[in-house]
Amino acid sequence: MIECKKLSRDFKIYTKKAGLAGTLQAFFKRTYYINQAVKDFDLNLDSHGLIGLLGPNGSGKTTLMKMFTGIIVPSRGTVEVLGEVPSKRKNSFKRNISLVMGNKSQVWWDIPAMDSFLLFQRYYEIEEKDFKRRVNDLGERLNIKSLLQVPVRKLSLGERMKVELMACLLHEPKVIFLDEPTIGLDIASQKNVRQFLKDYYEEKKPLIVLTSHYMADVEALCEKIILIVKGEKRFDGSIEGFKEGFRKEKTIVFNFDEAIANFPEKWRERFYCDWNQDKTQLRIRVPEKELKSVTVEILNQYSVSDFHTEKVSVEEVMDDILSHH
C-alpha cells in the first residue's frame, strides 16, 4: 500500500550572520547548505494497520509524510502509495488519502466548522445522504456535534483538533496520515482522541500512519513502529521488537526484608541504582548480558522478599535512543 525505495529529499537552507554587516553581506551574496531531510528510505506497508512513525524533532517524519501525500516531490528514489506515484497528484489518488497536521489548520477560521465541511463535501463529491450520516456519526463519537455551528476561532485547541480530524475523515480515506494529532492537548483530550482513533480503526480498518511526541499515543495505538533518525530508517517492526532491539538494559526491582546499608561500590559505579527512602527497595538497571549473574548475586547476598523485571515503555526506549544522539 505504501512502498518506497531509496527515497530521499534535500532542502537548501540559507544562512545569514547576525548583525548589520551580515545583513549587508547577505544582500549581495547568499550562502546556503544542503540539508538532507530524508536519506535512502525503504519501506513497505500493508493496506491496513496502525503505524507509529517515531523520531526526534527534525528527523524527517513530516517530510516523509509530505512525500507520501504528494505535497512535496522527492529529490531521489521512488515512492508509491495505493499503487500511485503521489507527486503526480492524481485526483483519484487524492480522494483516497488524508492528512491531518497538528500545527496547520484547514478549516476556515472565522466561520463555523459546518460551513467548511459543506465545502469539503463538494471537494470530495460526497453524496448528501452519506455526508449527513458521517457528520452525525463522527460528530457524536468526537462529542462535538453542538460545536459545529460555532465559528472555529471560538473553539478550544482540543475542540479544534477534533474538528480537523473530522474534516479529514469525511471522505472515508483509505490511507490516513496524522502528524502530531495530539500536540498541545491536555491529558483528557489526548485520551479522547486516542480512543476515537482506536475505535475508528477497528471499524473501518484503514491504513493509519501517525507521528507523535507523546509515546503514550504510540503505545496505546500502534501495532508497528518505524523509527527515523536524522533522515534514516533505524527500525521497522513490532512494538515488542522495538523495545527489545533498542533496550539493551533491563530494570530489575528488588524488595528487601530489611534496610540495606552497605550496597557494594562496584555496582553503584557500574549500574544506575535508585533506592527508596528507607532503603528497602532497589531499582537497578542492568545490561541484558549481566542480568542473570547480577540477579543471582543479589539474591544470594541479601534477603530478598520479592523481585521482578520492569516492563519497559516506548518512552524509555526513545529516551535511550535520543540520549545517544
Partner 1 sequence: MLSFFMTIRLEYLKWLQSLKISLSKNLNYKINFLLMMVIPVLVYFAIKYNLWSSIYATNSAESIKGYTLSQMIEYQFWILIFELFVRSHFFSRNISEDIRLGRISVFLLYPFGFFNYQLSLFFSDKLIQFFIGIFSFFVVVTFGWIDIPSVGILFRAGVFIFMVSAFWFFAQLLVGFMAFWLEETWSINISIRFISAFLSGFIVPLDMYPEIISKILLWTPFPYLIYIPVRILMGESIDVVFSLFILFIWILILFVCIQLVWRKGLKLYTGAGI
Partner 2 sequence: MKRSLYKYISLYKEFFKTSLTEELSFRSNFILQSLMNIIFIGTYFFTSFFIFDHIEHIGMWNEIEFLLFLSFALAVDQTHYLIFSPNFWEFSGDVILGTLDFQLLKPFPTLFTVLFRRVAVPGILTVLLTYSLVIYFGIQVELSLLVWLSLPLCLFLSLFLLLGIEVLIAMLNFFTVEGMGINQLRLQVQHICRWPDFIYKNPARIWLFPLLAITSIPVRWILDMSYWSWLVAMFFGVLLLWFFIILLWPKALNFYESPSS
Interface residues toward partner 2, by CB under 8 A = 11, 62, 66, 69-73, 87, 89, 91-92, 94-95, 97-99, 101, 103-106, 108, 110-112, 115-116, 118-119, 121-125, 151
Number of Cβ within 10 Å of residue 309's Cβ equals 12
Here's the x/- map for partner 1, 52-91, by CB under 8 A: it reads as ----------------------------------------
Task: In angstroms, give the least distance from the CB of 26 to partner 1.
Answer: 7
71 binds, among partner 1, partner 2, none (CB under 5 to 8 A by kind): partner 2
Task: In angstroms, give the least distance from the CB of 110 to partner 1.
Answer: 9
* Cβ 165 vs Cβ 194: under 8 Å: no
* Cβ 79 vs Cβ 63: under 8 Å: no
Cross-strand partners of 304: 256
H or E element at residue 115: helix 113-123
Here the cell at position 25 is: 553581506
* Cβ 173 vs Cβ 206: under 8 Å: yes
Task: In angstroms, give the least distance from the CB of 47 to partner 1.
Answer: 42
H or E element at residue 26: helix 19-28
Here the cell at position 117 is: 465541511
Task: In angstroms, give the least distance from the CB of 104 to partner 2.
Answer: 6
How far CA 213 is from CA of 54, 102, 314, 315, in Å, comes to 8, 11, 11, 9
296 binds, among partner 2, partner 1, none (CB under 5 to 8 A by kind): none
Here's the x/- map for partner 1, 16-55, by CB under 8 A: it reads as x--xx--xx-xx----------------------------
Number of Cβ within 10 Å of residue 207's Cβ equals 22
For residue 154, state whether it binds partner 1 (rule: CB under 8 A): no
Which of 24, 118 has the CB closer to partner 1? 24
Task: In angstroms, give the least distance from the CB of 63 to partner 1.
Answer: 25
Task: In angstroms, give the least distance from the CB of 231 to partner 2.
Answer: 15
26 binds, among partner 1, partner 2, none (CB under 5 to 8 A by kind): partner 1
Backbone angles phi, psi at 22, to 5 degrees: -60, -40
* Cβ 94 vs Cβ 113: under 8 Å: no
69 binds, among partner 1, partner 2, none (CB under 5 to 8 A by kind): partner 2
How far CA 317 is from CA of 43, 199, 215, in Å, comes to 22, 27, 10
Q: How far apart are CA 281 and CA 252, in angstroms?
A: 10
Which of 110, 265 has the CB closer to partner 1? 110
Binding footprint of partner 1 on the chain (CB under 8 A): 16, 19-20, 23-24, 26-27
